[in-house]
Amino acid sequence: MPARQEVVLDIGVLPRVDEHAVVVSATAAEVWDALGASLEQSFGRPRSARYARLVGVADRTASGPRPLVEGAAVPGFRVAAAVPGRKLVLVGRHRFSTYALVFRLEPEGAGTRLRAETRARFPGPGGALYRLLVISSGAHALLTGRLLAGIRRRAEQVR
């Protein structure tokens, strides 16, 4: 296994891909806990590990303290910033893309709005093909929607 590659990234330079949001009938603290647990579960699956190896992600294994803090990793992502109950910034890269996934938690009525913003660059012909297969096909939007729905279910079960 290759040595872990450090992902250093200014997400402001990455083009915005999309944003998805869900309103959760739970407190920001409950949503934060559900977010961390859902990321661990979603990206810790064997299928995710195989995908990570296939595309050559920089961070292939979970590492660092839990709950997630700056510098920790889940497969495919390194935590660039973590403000519990407010914001989680994940960054990563692989052969076809450099990317960031930014989660923001905001008050919404009696609950919390959870937003997931994706930013990414897809360099070269391989990147263009990857963008077509993952983003333009709708697969990314589908998977992000499923992730947010799972976080909502998990957070609302606490209540």
Closest CA to 85 of 34, 42, 37: 34
pLDDT at 2 > cutoff 50: no
Tell me what pLDDT residue 49 has: 83
Count, residues in the chain: 159
Average pLDDT for 125-138: 97
Question: By mean pLDDT, which of 6-20, 117-131, 132-146 is the weakest?
Answer: 6-20
Average pLDDT for 112-117: 98
C-alpha span between 60 and 72 (Å, rounded): 12
Q: How confident is the model at residue 152 (pLDDT cuts 50, 70, 90)?
A: very high
Closest CA to 26 of 145, 107, 144, 146: 107
Tell me what pLDDT residue 4 has: 45
pLDDT at 3 > cutoff 90: no
At residue 139, φ and ψ (nearest 5 deg) are -60, -45
**Contact of 156 with 29, CB cutoff 8 Å:** no
Structure tokens belonging to residue 47 = 């299928």
Q: Is 46 helix (H, G, I), strand (E, B) or coil?
A: helix
Highest mean pLDDT range out of 1-10, 53-62, 121-130? 121-130
Average pLDDT for 54-71: 93
Closest CA to 77 of 104, 50, 48: 48
Q: Which amino acid is at 81?
A: A
**Contact of 143 with 17, CB cutoff 8 Å:** no
